Structure 1
Amino acid sequence: MAAPKELIEAFPMKSGDGPNSYAKNSTYQRQLVDAGKDILSKTIAEKLDVEILLSSNSTFRVADLGCSVGPNTFSAVDNILEAVELKYQSQGLSSQIPAGFQVFFNDHTSNDFNMLFRSLPPNRRYCAAGVPGSFHGRLFPNASIHFFHSSFTIHWMSRVPKEVADKNSPAWNKGRIHYLNSTDEVVRAYEAQHAEDMECFLHARAQEIVHGGLMALTIPGLPSLPHETSYPRAARNGTHQLVESCLMEMVRKGMVSEEKVDSFNVPIYYMSPEELEAAVERNGCFNVERIENLPLPQGSGSIGKLFISHIRAAIEGLIKQHFGHEILDELFDLCCKKFEEQRLEYALGRPIIYLAVLKRKAN
C-alpha cells in the first residue's frame, strides 16, 4: 500500500547551522542514539544473518530514514557499521567483511541536503548518497537494503487528519493543537491516520529490505495503560500543551487570531510499544526482535532555554508555515518563560523513548 503522494506533507527540521538550527539543537536526540548503541550492537550480533544478507552481493547497504541535516545521522550510521564489522569478526569471518558499505540518507525533498552533504565525515568508511522522498511510501528497489535505521522520525505523520481542522466534524480540534488532552473524536482521528501511515511504512520497507534484513527504530512514544479507557493518558506529554497555551495567550493579546490557532494541529503521534507490535503483526512481514526503553538523558529539559531550543528546531517550520515568521521569537520566548515558571508541570510530561528492532521474515 503506497501513501497517496498528494496527501503527504513535509515537515523538515530547521535547516542550516544557525543558532536555532536542528544541527545545533539536537543533543537530546544524539544522547538517545548513544544510549541505544549497546542494545543495537547486541541485537546485530545476535540477529544479523550475514550468510543470507550477502549471499549475492558484496556491498552492505544501510538507509537512514528521516536523516535531517546531521550530525546525529552520522553517529547512528557509524554505530551500525561498527556493529556489523564486529559481527563478522566474532564469527572468525574478518576476511569476508563486506567489500563496501553504501549509506542512503533519506528525508523530504525540502530537507537541507546541502548542509547534510557539507557535514559528511571526511574519513567515512562508506559511500554516501541522498534519497529525497517521504518514508511513508516506496524509496528503494525491491530487496535492495540490508539495514534500515530511523531515529525520532516515524512519530511524524504523513499529514494532519483532515477531520480535526473541519469545523463541521465531530473531531474539530478547536482551541487545541494536538490530540493530547483532546476529545475522543480527535484521538480516534489521529489514531486512524497513524494506523494508515504505519501500514504504508511497513509495507514499503517489507518490499525494499532483503529477507533477513534488520530495521532499527528509535521512537518517542507513550506507555500503554490497560486500565484507562480514553486518551487523557497522553496528557503526560507536556510539550504540545506548552506551545498551545502560549499560542492562546498570544490570541488573548491580539497577536494571533483564534481562527489561526483553531486550524493549526501538530502531525505527531506517540505510538506505544504495544501499538507498534500490533502494526507489525497486521503487516505480517517482520518479527519484533527487541523492544527496550532507553534511559532518558539526565538533566534534559531542566534548563528552559535549552529545552525550548530543541522544540523550536523541530517545529519552527510548522509554525512559520501556518502563522508566518513574525511570531517565532515572541512565541518561543514566551514558551521559555512559561516553562521556567511551571517547570514541574511540563517536566512531568515527557514521553518514553524506546528502541525497536525488526527482522524481515525469510518468506
Structure 2
Amino acid sequence: MKDVFCMEGGQGESSYIKNSQVQSRNLQMMLPTLKEILDKVQLPRRPGKHLLTAADLGCSCGHNTLIVADAIVEHMTRKLRSCIFDDQDDGDAADPEFCFYFSDLPSNDFNTLFHLLPQHATAAAGDGSERRYFAAAVPGSFHDRLFPKRSINVFTSTFSLHWLSQVPEGVADKRSAAYNKDKVFVHGASQATGAAYRRQFQSDMARFLRCRATELKAGGVMFLVCLGRPSLHACPTNQGRVQLLYGAMFEESWGDLVEEGTIGRETMGSFNVPVYAATLEEFGEAVGADGLFEINRLELVITSPLAVDDPIRDRRAVANYVRSLLGPLVDAHVGRAVADEIFVRMQRRAEARAEELVDEMRFPHIVCSLSLA
C-alpha cells in the first residue's frame, strides 16, 4: 500500500484533479464546522512571536487541500486580529507566520499539487493572488509518526481515513475463513471478512490517533471527514451506498474478465479494496478507546452527488470517478492494459444507469472534530 497507493495523478480524464469536484462541493459545505473547531485552538499569549502550524493528512493532488489551507489561515488570521493582547508594544502580534504541511504517501503526485500553489507566500493578507503561508510536503503514512512532538496546532484529514493501511489479514488468503472469494470489497462478504475489515479499521484508527496525540500542541485541534455508513447498517458487510463505488459494478467488471479467461479467479481473489466505512458508533468507540481525545462534534452528513458538466461526461462520470480513486491500485495488481478493460466494463454498466447513478451516489460522511483530552 505505502509503495503504490495514491489518487490518480496528472491531469488526464481519469485523474483525481479532474474528478474531485464533488469532494470540493462537500468540503465547502463542511467549512463552517472546520471554522467552529478552529475557534477552540488555544493561542499563545504573543502569537506574533510564534509560528502557527497546520497539516492536511491525505492531501492528494487537487485543489481541495488548498481550500482547507486557505480556510484555516484566513480564519485564524481574523481570530488573531480580533484579540486584544496584554503586550500593547507588540505591533505585529496579530500577524503570526503560518506553515502548512501537505502530507500523503510518497506515491502521491506532489508535483501536480505544488503547481497549483500561487508562486509567492506572504504572512500578511494581500489581494488574494498570494498565499499567506509557507508550504511543505511531508511524505509518509498518517498511520505512522510524521511530525515532531507537540509541533502542530491544527490537523485536518478529509476524505481519507476510510482508507485502511493494508488489506485486512486473511482476506486475500485462500486458507483463511476471512478469504473474500469471488469479491473485491467487504460489502456482501462473509461475516469473517467483515470482522477482519472492522478489526483493521479499529487498529488503524488507534495508530492514527496515538500519533496525532503526540504531535499535536497543547490546545490544538483536529478536523476529520471520511466515508461512513448509517447505524442501521450495523453489520460491517453492509456498507450502504459506499458499495456503489467499490462493489457492485466494479466487482462485476472483474467477474467479466474472470469468466472470459482474461484474468484468473485467484488474481481477482487476491485483490481487495482497502476501504471501510464506519458507523458513528464504531468511529466514536475508536476515538474513545485510548481516551486521548475529546469529541467536540460527531455527525453523519449526506453529501452532494457526482459532478457532471455535459451529457457525454455523464456517461463516463462514474467509471472515471472510481478510476481516479482506485486506478493506481488496480494497475499495480493486474497491469495497465487489464485495468483499462476493467474500467471499460464498468463504464458500460454505468452508461445504462447514468442518470440514476449520478443521483444515487450521494454518500454518507462522518464529520468529526477533536481536541486533546
Normalised TM-score (structure 1): 0.89
The reply on whether 1:26 has 2:20 as its aligned counterpart is yes
Q: Contact between 2:306 and 2:317, CA under 8 Å: does it hold in 1?
A: no
Who is 2:241 aligned against? 236
Question: What letter matches 1:322 in structure 2?
Answer: H
Who is 1:133 aligned against? 140
SS at match of 1:96: coil
The reply on whether 1:327 has 2:327 as its aligned counterpart is no
Q: Deviations over 1:153-189 (max 9, x none)?
A: 1111110012011111111101001111101000001
Which consecutive unaligned segments of at least 5 residues does structure 2 have?
Answer: 86-90, 120-129
The reply on whether 1:178 has 2:189 as its aligned counterpart is no
Q: Distance in 2 between matches of 1:299 and 1:107?
A: 24
Q: Contact between 1:32 and 1:294, CA under 8 Å: does it hold in 2?
A: no
Aligned length: 351
Q: Deviations over 1:66-101 (max 9, x none)?
A: 111121111111111112122224445695335200
Q: Distance in 2 between matches of 1:84 and 1:229?
A: 39
Q: Contact between 2:234 and 2:279, CA under 8 Å: does it hold in 1?
A: no
Q: Deviations over 1:240-294 (max 9, x none)?
A: 2221011101222222222211111011111222222111111211111112344
SS at match of 1:212: strand
Q: CA distance change for structure 1 residues 280 and 56 in 2, over 3 Å: closer, same or farther?
A: farther
Q: Deviations over 1:333-362 (max 9, x none)?
A: 22122123245479646530132111113x
Question: What letter matches 1:181 in structure 2?
Answer: G
Question: What letter matches 1:260 in structure 2?
Answer: T
Who is 2:43 aligned against? 50
SS at match of 1:206: helix
Who is 2:114 aligned against? 117
Q: Distance in 2 between matches of 1:189 and 1:128?
A: 38
Who is 2:123 aligned against? none
Who is 1:101 aligned against? 98
SS at match of 1:155: coil
Q: Contact between 1:181 and 1:231, CA under 8 Å: does it hold in 2?
A: no
Who is 1:3 aligned against? none
Q: Contact between 2:280 and 2:300, CA under 8 Å: does it hold in 1?
A: no
Q: Contact between 2:2 and 2:105, CA under 8 Å: does it hold in 1?
A: no
The reply on whether 1:88 has 2:88 as its aligned counterpart is no
Who is 2:59 aligned against? 67
Question: What letter matches 1:357 in structure 2?
Answer: S
Q: Contact between 1:13 and 1:315, CA under 8 Å: does it hold in 2?
A: yes
**In the TM superposition, what is the alpha-carbon distance from 1:41 to its structure 2 partner?**
1.5
SS at match of 1:164: coil
**In the TM superposition, what is the alpha-carbon distance from 1:117 to its structure 2 partner?**
2.0
SS at match of 1:48: coil
Counterpart selection for 2:8 from 8, 14, 38: 14
**In the TM superposition, what is the alpha-carbon distance from 1:298 to its structure 2 partner?**
4.7
Normalised TM-score (structure 2): 0.87
Q: Contact between 2:304 and 2:362, CA under 8 Å: does it hold in 1?
A: no
The reply on whether 1:249 has 2:256 as its aligned counterpart is yes
Who is 2:124 aligned against? none
Who is 1:4 aligned against? none
Which consecutive unaligned segments of at least 5 residues does structure 1 have?
Answer: 1-6
Report percent identity of matched pairs: 34
